[in-house]
A = this chain, B = another copy of it.
Amino acid sequence: MIVLIQCVDKVGLVAAIASVMAAADCNIISMREHVDTTANLFFTRLVAKQNEDSAVLLQRLKSVLPSNAIVQINPDPEKKIILLVTKEHHCLGDILVRHHFNTLGSKLQCVIGNYDHLQDICQRFEVPFHFISHENIEKNEFESRILSLISEYNCDYLVLAKFMRILSPQFVAQFANRIINIHHSFLPAFVGASPYRQAWLRGVKLIGATAHFVNNDLDEGPIIEQQIIPVNHGYTADDMVKAGKEIEKAVLARALQMVFEDRVFVYNNKTVVFE
């Protein structure tokens, strides 16, 4: 079983938690714990053998923790996700293959595209694709259509797999810490448009990608995962784009794995990732 706890820090939390587990004969296989002493917050992730009913354990844990503690026992091991895409296929293709072979660690409910370019690949994997154009309509109407569609599904996370429209704060607010984006840069470098061209003009020797939760500031949410690859003067801006796609694909896959395995806590503008 997996137990996740986030609460205000105080003396005795680990003892209290572990005692509840021991009293229920639930042997702890692995335990990760982190205290942000600046924020005075406590985070833990336990993997244990389950020898007691989850609801009973939840009750017992809450009784020994601060009143506003966030406790999760065995969060749904198969998150429901919806992808938003535009035209680029590299992240989508990777996710579709993983989903098809049951190695994604989540259930892909559907894909929503503001172009229809990626409909065919979704159909090949029997994943529903919905085309909602942003053209000739107001932004709030566009988002309203997307929200309406999402509401037809169960959805734990929205994944922006190279979705090239900026979502409004109103939209984002409905999915706090539940929208995951892959950003074409090593944030905070090269925020904004044409990052690879910016990188090429600057003659960088590395390019990277960042997977992060989305909040109201574009490109500014809590970072989940970052990786880079070396480049050199021989790379054109197009070569950097190509290399960038490889790293984007890898970073998003890693970030999703961390989230789907319930290894990520979010607070303030940061994450704790128990890898």
Contact = CB atoms under 8 A, between A and B. Distances in A.
Number of copies: 4
A222 B16 CA distance: 35
A220 to B, nearest CB: 9
Interface size class of A (residues with CB under 8 A): 35 or more
A226 B203 contact: no
A32 to B, nearest CB: 7
- The interface centre, meaning the residue of A12, A100, A232, A272 with most chain B CB atoms within 10 A of its CB, is A12
A11 B30 contact: no
Contacts of A32: 32-33
Contacts of A28: 13-14, 33, 35
Contacts of A190: 188
A271 interface: yes
Given A14-B22, A186-B186, A223 B208 contact: no
A1 to B, nearest CB: 14
A11 B29 contact: no
Contact of A189 (B9, B22, B188): B188
A116 to B, nearest CB: 15
Nearest to A46: B14
A273 interface: yes
Interface stretch (A73-81, A89-97, A135-143, A173-181): A89-97
Contacts of A15: 15, 18-23
A26 interface: yes
A29 B35 contact: yes
A271 B203 contact: yes
A11 B18 CA distance: 10
Contacts of A97: 89, 93-94, 96-97, 121
Interface of A: 9-23, 25-37, 89-90, 93-94, 96-98, 100-101, 103, 121, 124-125, 186-190, 201-206, 208, 222-228, 230, 232-234, 246, 250, 253, 269-273, 275
